[in-house]
Amino acid sequence: MIRDRLRSRWAPNRTLRGRLTVGLVGILLLACALLGGVTALFLRSFLVRQLDGQLAAAGGRFSASLERGRLAPGGEDGDADNAVPGQSVGTIGVRLVGGRVSQAAIVADDGTNRPLVFPAGDTATLTALVPGAGPVTADLAAVGDYRVEAVAGRDGDIQVTGLPLHSVNQTLAQLAVIEAIVFGGLVVAGGVTTAVVVRRTLRPLERVSATALHVSELPLDDADTALPTSIAPAHPTSEVDQVSVAFDHMLEHVRSALWARDATEARLRQFVADASHELRTPLATIRAHAEYAVSADGPPSPPVSEALGRITTATDRMSRLVTDLLLLARLDAGRPLAREPVDLTRLVLDAVADARAAGPAHRWRLTLPEDLVTVPGDAERLHQVLANLLTNARTHTPPGTTVATTLSPGPAVVEVTIRDDGPGIPADLQEDLFDRFTRGDASRTREHGSTGLGLAIAHGIAAAHDGTLTVTSTPGQGAEFRLRLPAT
């Protein structure tokens, strides 16, 4: 679940590697766009200045020649070749008189001039030019984009000369294509290089993340669980390496804490086992002496008899507690139980029969399959599990409660269900129900001699058989315990 949640968060557009790559590629793309734009602007400015220089050199000679009639459109002056010496192809000459176009011509591809007729919009654009103001850019519908300059004539007219911007625009278009190809290749190469460099740089972080995820899934409550070894480089040089070093220090602290905890628990288990073992002999001696005092030289007085009876009862209770603690210590130590075929049907039948005899005020129901059910395990311990569960149902429910026991075989798992219709288990108690010394009702359990270890022992025996013991309960609607054991 943790891994799936982390994978959903580590979407490609959310990872640090992805964001760094996208950010660096975006910066590279922006830099290429700015460089291309600035280059285009400077080149256009340079080419336009060249045109302006050509306009300044040409002056108004072309348009003035129209006024003098030497280069009349169509050769009306009798000049057969109608050539335009010194003017480049596309140059236009316009003579303005009284706010209107008096004469206009353009140098054609063959070097001769051709007459021009401007629409009203172009005429307005041309008449708005100020003589001596310098070259300006004009978009003329008749000929296209031009760089034009107006100068005052000697007889009150205005001479306009223009050079086409077609070559400038064509050069800029070619530059844009070249820049798109070059910068596109640079962006792709830069993106690939950035991705490789970022991935290699963040690889220690990926190791830290993978190791942290692995540690989060380890059963740290198991003393045999080993934490990963060092992941930090021998010579850390970057901040990422320092994160790996810090993570290694944290793992070392966790490892030390786990070792200390395991050592403490081992000492505690050994103490419980040793104390339980040592207490069995004095308890047996106390019980023997109490029984001897009761039977020696006639019956004792009532006060003495009552005191000896209490001593015997307390001794029995302490003996059961010592036995339970010793069994838990053995389970904690991981000592293997017996592994032999166990007739689970017979165990369930005997356990319910014992419970019926101990609690005649309850209603006991038993459901068994037609065929015998056999599981591998320790018969004595499995019987103890069933007995503890049935005793728990009897002592924690009022008289008249129905307790139903069902044995359900399966191909891989055998299930024993014990359900009662009693008051149920409080919700705040269910989480810790299988912990040691957990009691739902202290006065009730003490009255019946419970130590609070029965369910903990049952849970431990089930786990030692590679099985599980779970509980589901709704307050006021009873409780259900499910014991699942591997089938033969």
What are the tens digits of pLDDT across the range 395-435? 889 999 999 999 999 889 999 999 999 898 888 787 778 87
Q: Any idea which architecture 218-335 has in CATH?
A: Orthogonal Bundle (1.10)
Q: Half-sphere exposure of residue 180, counting CA atoms within 13 Å on the CB side?
A: 6
Q: Is the pLDDT of residue 196 over 50?
A: yes
CATH 1.10.287 in the chain: give the residue spans: 218-335
* Residue 63 near residue 76, CB atoms below 8 Å: no
Phi/psi at 93 (5° precision): -130, 135
The class level of CATH for 340-486 reads: alpha beta
Strands (E), 325-427: 340-343, 363-367, 374-377, 402-408, 413-420
| pLDDT interval class at 78 (50, 70, 90) | very low
Tell me the CA end-to-end span of the chain in Å, nearest whole number: 31
Q: What is the pLDDT of residues 252-279, one digit of tens each?
A: 888 888 888 777 777 766 776 666 666 7
Percent of the chain with pLDDT over 90: 27
- Looking at residue 86, its pLDDT comes to 67
DSSP codes joined into one string, 207-221: HHHHHHHHHHTS-TT
Q: Is the pLDDT of residue 6 over 60?
A: no
Q: Are 351 and 392 in contact (CB under 8 A)?
A: no
Please tell us whether the domain made up of 60-164 is placed in CATH 3.40.50: no
Region(s) of the chain under CATH 3.30.565.10:
340-486
Closest CA to 16 of 236, 189, 201: 201
Position 315 scores a pLDDT of 78
Taking residues 213-236, what's their average pLDDT? Answer: 75
pLDDT at 73: 44
How far apart CA 308 and CA 306 sit, in angstroms, is 5
Residue 200 confidence (pLDDT) above 90 = no
Distances (CA, A) of 484 to 297, 378, 416: 54, 15, 7
Q: Is the dihedral of CA 441, 444, 447, 451 positive or negative?
A: negative
Decide if pLDDT at 177 tops 90.
yes
Please check whether residue 158 is in contact with residue 129, taking contact to mean a CB–CB distance below 8 angstroms: yes
Question: pLDDT at residue 298 above 70?
Answer: no
DSSP-based three-state secondary structure for 404: strand
Q: Does position 352 have pLDDT exceeding 60, yes or no?
A: yes
**Cα separation, 176 vs 198, whole angstroms:** 31
Q: Residue 83: is its pLDDT beyond 50? A: yes
pLDDT confidence of residue 273:
67
Domain with CATH 3.30.450 in the chain: 60-164
Range in 16-25, 269-278, 312-321, 385-394 with the lowest mean pLDDT: 269-278
Residue that wins the pLDDT comparison between 169 and 10: 169
Percent of the chain residues past pLDDT 70, beyond the cut: 83
pLDDT digits over 429-458, tens only? Answer: 877 788 776 665 543 444 455 566 788 888
Model's pTM, two decimal places?
A: 0.48
Q: What average pLDDT is seen over the chain?
A: 81
Residue that wins the pLDDT comparison between 189 and 56: 189
CB-based contact 444:382 (threshold 8 Å): no
CA atoms within 13 A on the CB side of 471: 24
Q: How confident is the model at residue 229 (pLDDT cuts 50, 70, 90)?
A: confident
Q: Find all residues with CB under 8 Å of 25, minimum gap 6, and list them.
A: 187, 190, 191, 194
Residue-level pLDDT at 175: 93
Note the pLDDT of residue 180: 92
How high is the pLDDT of residue 85? Answer: 59
291 vs 195: which has the higher pLDDT: 195
- The answer to which of 11-20, 171-180, 313-322, 461-470 has the lowest mean pLDDT is 11-20
Task: Give 199's pLDDT tier (boundaries 50, 70, 90).
Answer: confident
